[in-house]
Structure 1
Amino acid sequence: MTCRLKNYIQVKKLFLLLAHILLVEIDMWFVFIIAPILGAFIGWITNWLAIKLIFRPYVAIRIPLINYSIQGVIPKRRQEIACSVGNVVATQLLSLEDLVGQINMPENQRKAIEILSGSVKNHLHERLPMFLPLPVKNTIVQIIEDILRREAPLLLARVSKDLSTELSSSLNLSLLVQDKINRLDLEQLEHLVLSIASKELKHIEALGAIIGFFIGLFQALLFFLL
């Protein structure tokens, strides 16, 4: 009886030892599986949330207990962004001098003269009296067209100079850009940005998941090594 009891106790101890080893192994593999997956999820959700917070919420949401408000970066700083973009456009990207310079370019002047000449020619053919013979009409149109082509470059240069002076005193390009940005619908702007940069934003989300996965794996290794 005593011998059987001893054998029973030894078998029970062996069973408990095997069970403990098995549970440790299960815990180890469980940590090695769960930690990287959890890290990947946290990395992905963090970057996804950060991207969403660029635009949303459109209107500030106040948290009563901590007296803190949450609002998207662009809606919250819309005025500052519009001001910065307007100044950059007006001073570095597209000034009034650039616009007038485009008008004064020989190629653009030739196009303007061709359009003006064709319009005047059609207008004259429609407006000249019907009783005039066709050769006379053609002669009149040709004379006016020749005068127009000869004088148009000087006229365009004078107009562009007057236009530059007038626009410089009356048009503020920076304020115009700011006004356009401030009038943009935030939902449409978000749609536009996400449609253009959707691929890059998906890469950012995936990168967060990858980094989170390796951080979780590293933490699992530290858990068993320390």
Structure 2
Amino acid sequence: MIYMDKVDYNQEIKQAQYNGSLIQVGDELNIQITGYDELAIKPFNINTISNTNVKEASDATSLQSYIVNKQGEITMPVLGNIPVTGKTIDEVKVDLEERLKKYLVEPIVIIKPINLKIVFLGKFGAAGMKVHDNEKLNILQAIALGGGTSEDADLKNIRLIRNVNGVDETYVLDVTDYAITTSPYYYLQNNDILYAVPDKNAQIAANKNAYWMKGMAGFGFLITIYTLFFR
């Protein structure tokens, strides 16, 4: 399979701008608060908090994990409920640091999303749900993650299904065109679904070959019968 073979060398092509993946309900975020005063930041990094949307860290050096609840919030010690859905990681980082300035001097927030997921359907080599840790995953990297596309996939008709504000929206991507790198959908979001549509011409050719093989098998069977009974 050849990707991005359609190139206009006379046209200036600018790389798509990565604005960050938007946080959704159910996302899992590793969050660590750091600062100059270790004693002061300790209440903000308790790994044994009893909370439905906090996962206990496996060891003292691990980041504590927060799951975004149905209200689109995470619940943090001292700070309480923080709305995060529809925001990027950087936006949440800035928000938390501003909130923490009431309690800490020059706080630093480190956030890393975990259990990022992409679902592959159709003519992929390894269809199904894949978990990855690449926050800046683009469409070509995703295709590789899905085991590449089969020979009968329509590379001009890769469907991207994305949930936007609770509504599934579908976009058609042509990965044979180098201009895909300028598309606003070049970089994927967590929980995106990719569907590799079968190529109609390839299907027609495959069906013709199948009919031809069946016909030849039937013809061979008739020859065998004729040979056995009429010679």
Q: Which has the higher contact order (CA 8 A, sep 6+)?
A: 1
When normalised by structure 1's length, the TM-score is: 0.20
Q: Based on CA coordinates, which of the two structures has the bigger radius of gyration?
A: 1
More strand by share: 2
When normalised by structure 2's length, the TM-score is: 0.20
More helix by share: 1
